[in-house]
Amino acid sequence: MKRAWIGILLILALVATISCVGGCGKPAADSGTQEEVGKIVIGETEPLTGPIAVYGVPECNATKLAVDEINAAGGLEVNGKKYKIELVQLDDQLNPTLAFQNVKKLVEVHGAQFLIGFTNAAMIMPAMSYIQQKKIPVVVGGAPDEIITATPNPYVFRMRPPTAYTALATGKFIYNEFGVRTMAVIGTVSEQALFKDIAEGTMKGFEAMGGKVTSVQDFKSSQQDMSAQITAALATQPDAIYALAPIESQAFVYKQLRELGYKGKIFGFSGGNVKQFTKICTVDQLEGIFDLIPAEINPTDTSINGPGADAFVENYRKAFGEDPPPVAGYTYDAMKTLAAAIQAAGTLDPDAVVRELENLAVPEGLVLQWVPVEGKLFDSSHQAYIPNAAFVFQGGKKVVYKLMDSPIAEYSKKLAEARASNK
Amino acid sequence: MLLQQLLNGLVLSGLYLLLSLGLALIFGVLEIPHFAFGAVAVTGGYVGYVLVNLLGLPVWAGIALAVVISAAIGVLLDLLPYRDVNKLPPLNAFIVALGLMTFLNNTLQLLFGPDQVQIKLHGEQLVYLGQLVLTELRVALLLVAIVIMVVTWLILRRTKIGIAVRAVAANREAAALMGIDIRRISAFVFAYTSAIGAVVGIIYGGLYSLIPTRGDNLIFFGFAAIVLAGMGNLMGTIVASVILGVFQAFMIGYVSSAFSTVAVFGLIILLLILKPMGLFGKEVRR
C-alpha cells in the first residue's frame, strides 16, 4: 500500500503546482457616481491579491484617487457636456488568462470605453488584438516590459519607461559613480522577463565600461532562502552585488546578504519603499542600499518628481493612510493623461482620443517629471519617459542620491526600430 | 565556500527534518498521508504571529502557548476529519487531507489576508564560527531540530506511550489485542506532530515569512524527504532530510541555481529507480 502513496504524492505535486496561482477574485467597488448628464466608464485590471498585490493595490488606489479628484471637480467637459467617470477595477491575480477575461468583462459587461492599468506585459499581451479590434484606448501604467510598446498597437500607450531604458544607464552608473569593477548579480532572472531584460542590459552596460560580472545567481520568486545563491556569489569576491526581483523577494536577498556578513555595496532594481521592505528586513539591513530605477514618486524627497507630487502624496496619505509606494505615480498620471486627452478631443470617439494622446503635450499637475519627446508626452512608439534616478536607503528613509543618465533619444530610436520590425 | 554552503544546507535540512519527522510519524503509525501537515504548520505559525506580534507576548511564551494550542488542534483533527479514516480506502484519506488543506488555507486567508507576515523572533545577530557565519535564529533552528529529534527518539524508546506508539506502528491489530488504546495513541500522535508543526511554522515565519498558502510549498519537501527515506522510516527521514538540504545547497553553489530544485527531484527519482522503497524502506516481495 505504501507504493500507492508514492503515486498519490505525485498526483498531489501536480495539483499543488496547478493551484500555485491561487487567491480570490475581488472586484473593486465603483468609485464614480452615476450622473444624469453623462458617464464615461474606465476599466482597470491589476493584481489585487497574491504576491504582486504589493504593486497592484497602490496602482489601483492611485487611479481611484485621480478619478475622485476629477469627479469632485465636476467631471470632464467633453464638447460642452459634463461627464462623470465611473471606474471599474478588477483583480487579475497576476494570471494572464484572468487578465484577458477581465478586459473582456470590463468592455462587454461593464461597458468600459477606455482602459488603464496592467502590471506587466503578460497581463496585456493576450488582449492586444482584442483591444485593437474593439478600438479601446489603453494607457498602461506601471508595466515595465519593453514588448508592450514594441508591439505596434495604435490604441495602446504606456507611461512607465521600460526596463531596457533604465538598464542602458544602470551598468555605466555603477561603474563610473562608485568605481565598482567587479559585480555579482542575484535575481529572478530566468523566471521573469522584465528582470532578465534589466539584468542583461545592466551587465552589458557594465561590461562595456570594462567591468566584470563575476557571477549570475538565479532564484524563483516563490523561494525565500537565497543563502546558497548569495554564498556562491560572495565566493567570487565582487566589489558589489546587483539584486533584482519583486519587492518581497528582493527584501529577502537584502536581509540574507547582511545575515551572511556582507558589508559591501548593494545595488537593486525594485521600486519598493521602506515600509514595504521592512516587512521582511530591518532598517539597519537596508541602510546604504541603492535602488536604481526611474524617478518614481518618492514621498520623503519629491525634488525629482513632477509639480503635482506634493499634493498627490498628501492626498494619498489622507485617502489610504500611508505613503504612496513608488509605482503609484504611474497610474495616477495615466488617468490624468487619459482625462486630458478625452477633454482635448472633445469627443469619446476612440480614434479621436488616440490622436489627442499621440499629440498631447505633458499635461499640467502630473506627479512624475515627464520629459517630452519633440514636445509631446509620448514618442512615436506611444512611450512616455521620466528620468532615471539613484535612490539610497538612509536612516529609515529612501532618499534621492542623484539623477542618472536618461538616454531618451537613444532608447526611443531603438524602440521605434523594434516596433517597426514587429509590424 | 564549501563549509558555508554545508551550513546553509544544514539549515534547510533542519526545516525539512522537522516537517518530515511529523509526516513520518503520522504515516508510520497511523498510515495516514497527512498532506495537510504543511497547512497545520502554517496555522501554528499564525498562532505564534498573533501571540508574539499582535498580543505582544514574550517570544518564549508565545512559542510555548502556540505549541499547546497547536497540540489541541491536532487532537481536534484526530477527532473530526481524520476519525477512523484509516479504516477506509486510501483515497478517502487523501481526499480528507486535501480538503483539510484547502479549508485551513482559506480560513487563514480570510482571517489574515493574502499579505505576508513575519514573526518578530529577533534573532538577527550574527554568530561567527571562524570564517563561517549564521544568524542566531538559524543556529536556533539547527538546535531545535536536533533537540526535537532526540526528544522524539527518547519518547519512542523510553516512555510507555512511545512504546505503545511503536507497537501500533509495528502491528495495529496485535497492539489493540494487547490492550493498547488505539484512539488514545492516534490522538497523541496528532497532538505531538501538530506541536512540531507549530515549531516549524513559527521558526519559518521568523526566518522567512508566512502567507496562508505557504504550507503547500513546505509539504512538498517534507514528503520528498520521507519518500526518499522510505515512507514512515523515522531514522531514514533524518538522513534523507540532510541529503536533500545539503544537496540542494551544493547544487546552487557549485552547479546552477536555476536547476537546483529540478536536480533535487532528479536525484530522488534516480534513487527511487535504484531503491523503489526508498533508501531505508524494507523490501516487499510479492
Reported ipTM: the value is 0.84
Quick check: A221 contacting B, CB < 8 Å? Answer: no
CA dihedral angle for residue A113, residue A117, residue A119, residue A123, rounded to 10 degrees = 0
Q: Is A279–B281 a contact, with Cβ atoms under 8 angstroms apart?
A: no
Contacts of A228 in chain B (CB under 8 A): 5, 8-9, 248-249, 252-253, 257, 260
Q: What is the 3-state secondary structure of A99-129?
A: HHHHHHHHHHCCCCCEEEECCCHHHHHHHHH
Judging by DSSP bridges, how do beta strands A212-218 and A240-244 pair with one another? unpaired
Mark yes or no for CB contact B208/A252 under 8 Å: yes
Measured in angstroms, the CA of A96 and the nearest CA of chain B are apart by 19
Beta-carbon contacts of residue A296 (< 8 Å; ≥ 6 apart): A271, A326, A327, A329, A330, A368, A386, A389
- In angstroms, the CA B93 to CA B36 distance is 11
Please tell me what DSSP assigns to residue B55: S
**Which one-letter amino acid corresponds to residue A39?**
K
Q: Which of B92, B257, B272 to mutate to test the interface with A (most CBs of A within 10 A)?
A: B257
Chain A: residue whose CA lies nearest to B106: A23
- Give the strand pairing for A81-91 and A182-187: unpaired
Distance of CA B144 to the CA centre of its chain: 13
Fill in the amino acid letter for A99.
A
What would the pLDDT profile of A285-313 be if each residue is shown by its tens digit? 999 999 999 999 999 889 999 999 999 99
Query: How far apart, in Å, are the Cα atoms of B32 and each of B29, B71, B81, B173?
Result: 8, 18, 12, 16
CA distance B18 to A353: 61
Between chains, do A20 and B281 touch, taking CB under 8 Å as contact? no
Per-residue pLDDT at A25: 35
What phi, psi does B251 have (nearest 5°)? Answer: -60, -45
- B253 and A190 within 8 Å at the Cβ level: the answer is no
Q: Which of A9, A231, A261 sits opposite B1 (nearest CB)?
A: A231
**pLDDT of the residue at A16:** 44
Residue contacts between A and B (CB atoms, under 8 Å): 113
Reduce the secondary structure of chain A to three states and give it as a string: CHHHHHHHHHHHHHHHHHCCCCCCCCCCCCCCCCCCCCEEEEEEEECCCCCCHHHHHHHHHHHHHHHHHHHHCCCEEECCEEEEEEEEEEECCCCHHHHHHHHHHHHHCCCCCEEEECCCHHHHHHHHHHHHHHCCCEEECCCCCCHHHHCCCCCEEECCCCHHHHHHHHHHHHHHHHCCCEEEEEECCCCCHHHHHHHHHHHHHHHHCCCEEEEEEECCCCCCCCHHHHHHHHCCCCCEEEEECCHHHHHHHHHHHHHCCCCCEEEEECCCCHHHHCCCCCHHHHCCCEEEEECCCCCCCCCCCCCCHHHHHHHHHHHHCCCCCCCHHHHHHHHHHHHHHHHHHCCCCHHHHHHHHHHCCCCCCCCCCCCCECCECCCCCCECCCCEEEEEEECCEEEEEEECCCCHHHHHHHHHHHHHHCC
The answer to whether the Cβ–Cβ distance between B35 and A6 falls below 8 Å is no
What pLDDT does residue A300 have? 86
The angle subtended at Cα B254 by Cα B251 and Cα B256, nearest 5°, is 60
CB A230 within 8 A of CB A253: yes
Asked if residues A26 and A49 have their Cβ atoms less than 8 Å apart, the reply is yes
Radius of gyration from C-alpha coordinates of chain A: 22
What are the φ/ψ torsions at residue B121 (nearest 5 degrees)?
-95, -10
- Residue in A closest to B122 by C-alpha: A282
Tell whether A218 lies on the interface with B, counting CB pairs under 8 A: yes
CA distance A297 to A300: 9
Nearest CB partner across the interface for B126, out of A2, A3, A259 = A259
Q: Is A55 on the interface with B (CB under 8 A)?
A: no
> What was the pLDDT predicted at A5?
53
Which residues in chain B are contacts of A2 at CB distance < 8 A?
231-232, 277, 281, 284
Contact between residue B225 and residue B240 where contact means Cβ atoms under 8 Å apart: yes
- Partners of A290 in beta bridges: A267, A392
Alpha carbon of B254: minimum distance to chain A alpha carbons (Å):
8
Set of cell numbers at residue B102: 484547502
Q: What is the pLDDT of residue A3?
A: 54
Grid cell listed for A93: 491575480
Q: Find the closest chain A residue to B10 by CA distance.
A: A228
Confidence at residue A21, expressed as pLDDT on a 0 to 100 scale: 35
A229/B276 touch (CB, cutoff 8 Å), yes or no: no
Cβ neighbours around A69 below 10 Å, total: 19
Chain A hits for B129, CB-CB cut-off 8 Å, are none
User: Would you write out chain B's pLDDT as a tens digit for each of its 286 residues?
Assistant: 788 999 999 998 999 999 999 988 888 888 888 889 999 999 999 999 999 999 999 999 999 999 999 999 999 999 998 888 877 887 888 899 999 999 999 899 889 987 789 999 988 889 998 889 999 999 999 999 999 999 999 999 999 999 999 998 888 889 999 999 999 999 999 999 999 999 999 999 999 999 888 888 788 888 888 888 887 677 888 899 999 899 988 888 888 777 777 888 888 889 889 888 888 876 655 4
Report yes or no: A292 and A173 within 8 Å, Cβ to Cβ.
yes
| B 101-130 → A contacts, CB under 8 A | 105, 109, 114-118, 124, 126, 128
Single-letter amino acid, residue A395: G
Exposure string (b/e) for A332-357, b if CB count within 10 Å is 16 or more?
Answer: bbbbbbbbbbbbbbeebebebbbebb
Nearest CA of chain B to the CA of A301: how many Å?
A: 27
Minimal Cβ distance to B252: which of A224, A228, A282: A228
**Which of chain B's residues have a Cβ under 8 Å away from the Cβ of A280?**
116, 118, 209
CA A342/CA A336 separation, integer angstroms = 10
Q: How far apart are CA A342 and CA A349, in angstroms?
A: 9
Ramachandran assignment for A289, one of left (phi > 0), alpha (psi -120 to 50 degrees), beta (any other): beta
User: Is the Cα torsion angle A302, A306, A307, A313 positive or negative in sign?
Assistant: negative
Is B9 in Cβ contact with A19 (below 8 Å)?
no
- Nearest by CB to A235, which of B1, B256, B260? B1
Q: B110 to chain A: which residues are within 8 Å by CB?
A: none
Residue found by looking up cell 485551513 in the block: B104
Give me A161's grid cell.
519607461
CB-nearest to A232 from B1, B90, B109 is: B1
What are the distances in angstroms from CA B140 to CA A294, B14, B200?
Answer: 41, 10, 12
- Per this entry, what is the length of chain B? 286
Three-class SS of residue B135? Answer: strand
Cα–chain center distance at A136: 21
Query: Which residues make Cβ contacts (< 8 Å) with residue B124, sequence separation at least 6?
Result: A259, A282, A285, B135, B136, B137
Q: Which residues does chain A have with pLDDT short of 50?
A: 1, 10, 12-35
Residues of chain A in contact with residue B260, where contact means CB-CB under 8 angstroms, are: 228
Interface of B with A in 225-264 (CB under 8 A): 227, 231-232, 248-249, 252-254, 256-258, 260-261
pLDDT of residue A8: 52
Contacts of B256 in chain A (CB under 8 A): 218
How far apart (Å, rounded) are the C-alpha atoms in residues A372 and A385?
7
The predicted structure's pLDDT at residue B232: 66
Of A12, A190, A225, the CB nearest to B208: A225
Residues 364-423, chain A: which have Cβ within 8 Å of B? none
What are A210-223's pLDDT values in tens digits? Answer: 999 999 999 888 88
Cβ of A4 within 8 Å of Cβ of B90? The answer is yes
Calculate Rg over the CA atoms of chain B.
19
Beta bridge partners of A388: A294
Of B246, B200, B225, B234, residue with least CA distance to B12: B246
Q: Mapping DSSP to helix (H, G, I), strand (E, B) and coil, where does residue B237 land?
A: helix
